[in-house]
Structure 1
Amino acid sequence: MTSPTPITFYDIASSPPLRAFAANPWKTRFALNYKGLPYRTHWVDMPSIATLRQTLGVPANRTLPDGTPFHTLPLIHDAATNALLGDSFEIALYLETAYPSHPPLFRPSTTGLTAAFNAHVDALFTRFATLCTHAPFDPRVADAVGAMFAARVGAMAAELQQRAGAQPGGVKVLVAFEQALGELAKAYRHTGGTTDYVWRAGGTGEAQRQRAPTGLGEGGPFLDGDEPVYADFVVGAWLKMMEASMSAEDWGCVRTWQGGLWGRVVDALDRWSEIK
């Protein structure tokens, strides 16, 4: 099936000029662009998201630690089927089912694994959301957005940092972020275990020094194969958020970590980053 009319894609409005920056909408944007589906972006001020979802009859898709419903984006309306979906993973599954003749987002029998990977990557990056000190929030609604951002990301980040033992403070958090991404880099290099050579040169010390397996490459830019799948877009979406929201100096560091892996990932996904 081919959509005869563009899909309406609701994304979070930034400060002018309008640009994409939030991670979960980026997942959907990557998916729409990769499948080559016609769509148009409808930008929504963050304080208006709850009203939009309630008006369209789409329930909240997130819950804060205190149990309060939290309305967020993305959301799509497909006029071809009248489908309304308001969760990035559910949107990906819908696009895969509704448009099977377009490039696939999932390899066979990997939906559950991708869902678990999505949750893992979300938790990893959310733990370091405090590094997003330059998020391009629209100044017209800055006060309201600041309160919402603190309620959503601040609470989750504090909880996850406490679990992981991360300490407050920019430098310490940045170091912990490098370590966390180093662990994620193992997926790109198809290795694992407790070895840390992929993120810290020489290991943690003489007694624990690890050697990379013979023939281990740089890894990436995609997790498996020459073409990306939804799991690649999950990581790419968070990296795009960091690119838009971290200081230029800090983001420049991230691009170089693990032998420049994250810079290669972002650059490789650029062809599916168009904003329509």
Structure 2
Amino acid sequence: MSRHSRYCSTSPPTIILYDSPGTRAQTWVPNIWRIRFILNYKRLHYRTVWVEFPDVEATLRGIGAPPSATKPDGRPIYCLPVIVDPTRNSKAPHILSNAHTIAEYLEASYPARPVFPEGSRALQTLFVHYIQEVLAKPLLPIMVPLTHDRLPERTQSHFHSARATTPLPHPLPPGPQREQAWGVVKAQFDCLALVLDKNTGDGDGVVVQGYQVSYADFALCAMLLWIEQMAPHDGWSRVRDWNGGRWANLRHRCKDYMDVL
């Protein structure tokens, strides 16, 4: 069976996922990976439209996408991911932004193969908040400069001008400073591993819900893929072996939903 037919045996209208590439047509943004996981897991028919960061706001305004957030002064912020779903109403397709809003919409509109098993929505939402606001924080000083260096030149120039008043963190050179930074990251992963170990005996010891992958696993694996793609040698080579290989095992559990269509 072809990869395409695995996700779509008929030909329904196609969902469009707006994504931003790395140095090639490669998805890497954790929030976008999260949505791609859901689309693949639910076996929905979709295609990717690649938009470089300098073109995001103009592109999203052009298709009538709502802003993802607003600044304190009320100005809109346009970010990816965004999806356009023509299947609900062909005259007025649904256009959604913000990863969590999109996840909730896909679950409500396409309930088959749920990513929020019954009764888990609140706890999974809290888990994803923890990943974004706690687990990921010590990664940023390491990963942001490494990611910047792997983006297209035009996107790098865009970030330089956009962040003239808020410069990117300086890359950490090999040595004690970088090792110390990775040590802080590992402490957060160690803490999460202790929490997930509570599933041992009531699950497979890998996924959050016990046996079946869910939204929480996709959010965590999305961050792992960011590390793997943007820091394969200095980052993923470390993380995959932490906590008895738990994170490599999670990546393996999610691998069937990593297609980029």
Secondary structure (helix, strand or coil) at the match of 2:48 reads: strand
Alignment match, 1:116? 126
RMSD of aligned alpha carbons: 2.9
1:22 offset after TM fit, Å?
A: 0.5
1:25-50 Cα shifts (integer Å, max 9, x gaps): 00000000000000000011011111
Partner residue in 2 for 1:162 = none
Change (3 A) 1:181 1:150: farther
- On the 8 A contact 1:78/1:84 being kept in 2, the answer is yes
Q: Which amino acid aligns with 2:208?
A: L
Q: Does 2:253 correspond to 1:268?
A: yes
Q: Tell whether the 8 Å contact from 1:11 to 1:25 is kept in structure 2 after alignment.
A: yes
**Aligned to 2:146, which of 129, 134, 148?**
134
CA contact (8 A) 1:131 1:246 kept: no
Provide, for residues 72-106 of structure 1, a one-character-per-residue CA deviation record: whole Å limited to 9, x for no partner.
11100001121111111111111111112x21010
Q: How far is 1:8 from its partner?
A: 0.3
How far does residue 64 in structure 1 lie from its aligned partner after superposition? Answer: 6.2
Contact preservation (8 Å) 2:204, 2:211:
no
Distance 1:114 1:175 in 2: 27
Task: Give structure 2 stretches of 5+ with no counterpart.
Answer: 1-9, 170-175
Q: Any idea what the Cα deviations from partners look like across 1:54-78, whole Å, max 9, x if unmatched? A: 2223232245688764321110000
Distance 1:216 1:113, change over 3 A: closer
CA contact (8 A) 2:16 2:49 kept: yes
- Tell me the SS of whatever aligns to 1:244: helix
Alignment deviations for residues 213-262 of structure 1 (CA, whole Å, 9 cap, x no partner): xx879964211232201111010111111111125133201111111111
Query: What SS class does the counterpart of residue 234 from structure 1 fall into?
Result: helix
Answering whether residue 44 of structure 2 is matched by residue 59 of structure 1, we say no
Conserved 8 A contact 2:203-2:211: no
Instruction: Identify the residue that residue 181 of structure 2 maps to in structure 1.
Output: 173
1:107, 1:94 → 2: CA distance?
15
Gaps of 5+ in 1: 156-167, 192-214
Partner of 2:83, secondary structure, is: strand
Q: 2:136 matched to which residue of 1?
A: 125
Larger CA deviation: 76-85 vs 242-251: 242-251
TM-score, scaled relative to structure 1:
0.77
The answer on whether the counterparts of 2:36 and 2:258 sit within 8 Å (CA) in structure 1 is: yes
1:237 aligns with 2:218: no
Separation in structure 2 between the aligned mates of residue 85 and residue 112 of structure 1, nearest angstrom: 21
Q: What are the Cα deviations for residues 105-148 of structure 1, in whole angstroms up to 9, with x where unaligned? A: 10112222222211110112143122224323112332113455
Amino acid at match of 1:78: D
User: SS at 1:85's partner residue?
Assistant: strand
1:77 is paired with a residue whose SS is strand
Aligned residue runs from structure 1 range 152-171, under 5 A: 169-171=177-179
In the other structure, the counterpart of 1:197 is none
Aligned residue for 1:40? 47
Residue type at the aligned position of 2:16: T
CA separation of 1:90 and 1:152: change in aligned 2, threshold 3 A: farther
Count of residues paired in the alignment = 238
Q: How far apart, in 2, do the equivalents of 1:65 and 1:127 lie?
A: 25
Q: Distance in 2 between matches of 1:109 and 1:218?
A: 17
Contact 2:204 2:210 in 1 (8 A): no
> Of 134, 138, 157, which residue of structure 2 is paired with 1:143?
157
Q: CA 1:154–1:139 in 2, change beyond 3 Å: closer, same or farther?
A: closer
Alpha carbons of structure 1 residues 148 and 119: separation in structure 2 relative to 1, 3 Å: farther
Which of 207, 228, 235 is the matching residue for 1:250? 235
Inter-partner Cα distance in structure 1 for 2:118 and 2:83? 25
Give the TM-score taking structure 2 as reference length: 0.81
Judge which range, 171-180 or 44-53, deviates more. Answer: 44-53
* In 2, Cα distance between equivalents of 1:236 and 1:263: 9
